[in-house]
Structure 1
Amino acid sequence: MNVVTESPGTEKSVWGRDDVTSAKGAGDENFPVGSLLISRRKRPAVRIYYNFARVVDDMVDTTRLTPAQKIARLRAMAEVVRGEREAPVRADAQTAVAVRRMLLATGVPLETATDLVEAFCRDAVKNRYDSWEELLDYCRYSANPVGHFLLKLHGEDADSLAPSDALCSALQVLNHIQDAADDLRSLDRCYLPLPWLAEEGVGIEALRLARSKPGLRRVFDRLLDHVDELNREARRLPDLVRDRRMRLESAVIVEIAHRLAARLRRADPVAERVEPGRIDGLVALGASLRHLI
């Protein structure tokens, strides 16, 4: 039984009264969460992991908690995953219980879940970035664990992790570009390196305009240059994956990352939401079939 054993006051100060989970779902991601390409036996584990990731993401993005309250709740989630704390019988906290059980059952390291919490704790107090290296370090915790989870769930070798890290970091930065205006407006958060904006003579307020100014466009393109480098490294991933279905899944995601990067070169993420469509998914699937031969 995962029940509260500490005093009610202590638990209330950590967990708070309300579940702040949003209605956000798998359709909000750039990659297919638990898609039909993944083995039916593995999909429940993927859903459990995704549900946990979504809940901790919601905890840091809510406006109903202070930064200190967010960090306390996030740290508690990580402690539940590590088996250091009991969880209250509430939907959000129980995702940590479920992910712990699943990780122990599958032999996937607990860090694939707790590293995500580290990233979101940063989001609770850090809303500006000063360099590409700083942004990549954030991706190390916010995105790369997802790839590690999927690969280790499928028993893949360690040599697949580096190209997986490149792919996951690329997807994360692409998401930062997609959501740059909305992140500033709704969360006062900007992942674009501030010195890059200064070099182009623009400030973050340029993200509040109706369309990108030329200087802001150059910052987006500079980020996309780095994403292209990551995507080139990510091209190696499918050929390193032994599981046939996971190989196809990774190949599709690699193709989607390339197509989204190209689309963001052509379109203005400030003026409109730029995202992969159904045609992108079908083209990516078609281009990936060669990895099954």
Structure 2
Amino acid sequence: MLSADQTVQHYENFPVGSWLLPRRFRRPVAVVYHVARYADDLADEGEASTAERLAALEACSAELARIAAGQMPLTARFQALAPVVAQYQIPLSLFEDLFSAFRQDVVKTRYADFGEVIDYCRRSANPVGRILLHIFGFQDARMLAQSDGICTALQLVNFWQDVAIDLRKDRIYLPQDELARFGVSEAMLQAGQATPELKRLLAFQCERTRKMLVAGSPLGRALPGRIGLEIRTIVLSADRVLSKLKAVDYDVYTARPTLGGLDWPLILYQAIKATWFVTRPSAGCSHS
């Protein structure tokens, strides 16, 4: 089980809080990231029992309650969060949404339909984007909606990228009704073979996910300067992973597509040009 001062080191697709951001935002973004990452790890990492994981996540909610009551949190991680929440007027409900999604991960391993998956994303991913917009000082309704679209898409990219990894945790985020529609049984998933049926299903998921990225991508042009550059980089990173999924013909068992050193110069170049989503035709998960 994780202690209050531990966070597992992770490969990350998307450079949230990177050096691209103005310096004044990097610390508050890092504080938020470490709280969210720590709580996520409570649901996923280590050898803790279900009861222990849920108790640890409830302890995170109790820390939020202390912040809400104007009391000093018990742990350093939340002590660092309290002044960030106060300075940027971040609703604590956004963090509680995250924690509720992580508690769900402990007990729910199958999703009946895409609506259930989207509800999970609404709590597991969208709050992060809304918290960032609070820190950046933007609360326009259209920006919030675009942020939700991007964040949901980022979560979905992770799901399609991690089908094999999640199976080892007995989790399937592919909707059950869509598995049936494409002729993919759970036994087929567990067999560890990228069948034609599974490839068609993942191609469908990737196309739908990319449409969400495109819908949210104007946020990267609406936000100013290096903030917008960060958002454009995140969106392009997600699309790059989708392209890599297609390039391996959706064989998520043989190789998990990830971003490497050769990807980042192209992503950054495209983000600086800021014309990619305007000029590129909508072609599903086409290869960049």
Is residue 2:88 matched to residue 1:129?
no
Larger RCO, structures 1/2 (Cα 8 Å, 6+ apart): 2
Which residue number in structure 1 is paired with residue 267 of structure 2? Answer: 284
TM-score, scaled to structure 1: 0.84
Measure how far apart 1:218 and its partner are: 1.5
The secondary structure found in structure 2 opposite 1:232 is: helix
Q: What does residue 8 of structure 2 align with?
A: 23
Tell me the distance in 2 between the aligned counterparts of 1:49 and 1:61: 19
- Would the aligned equivalents of 1:209 and 1:270 in 2 still touch at CA under 8 Å? no
Q: Which amino acid aligns with 2:245?
A: L
- What is aligned with 1:263? 244
Cα distance in 1 between the residues matched to 2:38 and 2:46:
14
Structure 1 residues 238 and 62: CA distance shift in structure 2, 3 A: closer
Query: How far has the Cα of 1:291 moved from its partner?
Result: 4.1
> Is 2:231 the partner of 1:250?
yes
Q: Residue 110 of structure 1: CA displacement?
A: 1.9
Contact 1:178 1:274 in 2 (8 A): yes
Does 202-211 or 256-265 show the bigger shift?
A: 202-211
Which deviates more from structure 2 when the two are superposed, residues 61-70 or residues 152-161? 61-70
Residue ranges of structure 1 left out of the alignment (5+ in a row):
1-15
Matching residue of 1:62: 45
Residue 182 in structure 1 maps to residue 194 in structure 2? no
Query: What is the 5 A alignment of 1:1-293?
Result: 21-25=6-10, 28-83=11-66, 87-88=73-74, 93-158=75-140, 159-185=142-168, 187-241=169-223, 243-267=224-248, 268-291=251-274
CA contact (8 A) 1:100 1:110 kept: no
Letter of the 2:228 partner, please give it.
R
Residue deviations 1:245-282 (CA, integer Å, cap 9, x gap): 11110111111122221221222222111112223221
Shift of 1:19: 5.2
> d(CA) in 2 for partners of 1:45 and 1:31?
17
Moved more, 196-205 or 139-148: 196-205
Moved more, 205-214 or 130-139: 205-214
- Kept after mapping to 2: 8 A contact 1:115/1:141: yes
Paired residue total: 269
* Whole-Å separation in 2 of the counterparts to 1:63 and 1:17: 7
Deviation at 1:43, TM superposition (A): 0.6
Percent pairwise identity:
33
SS at match of 2:183: coil
* Cα distance in 1 between the residues matched to 2:233 and 2:2: 41
Provide the rounded CA distance (Å) in 1 between the counterparts of 2:259 and 2:206. Answer: 16
| Matched residue SS, 2:173 | strand
The offset of 1:20, in angstroms, is 9.0
TM-score under structure 2 length normalisation: 0.86
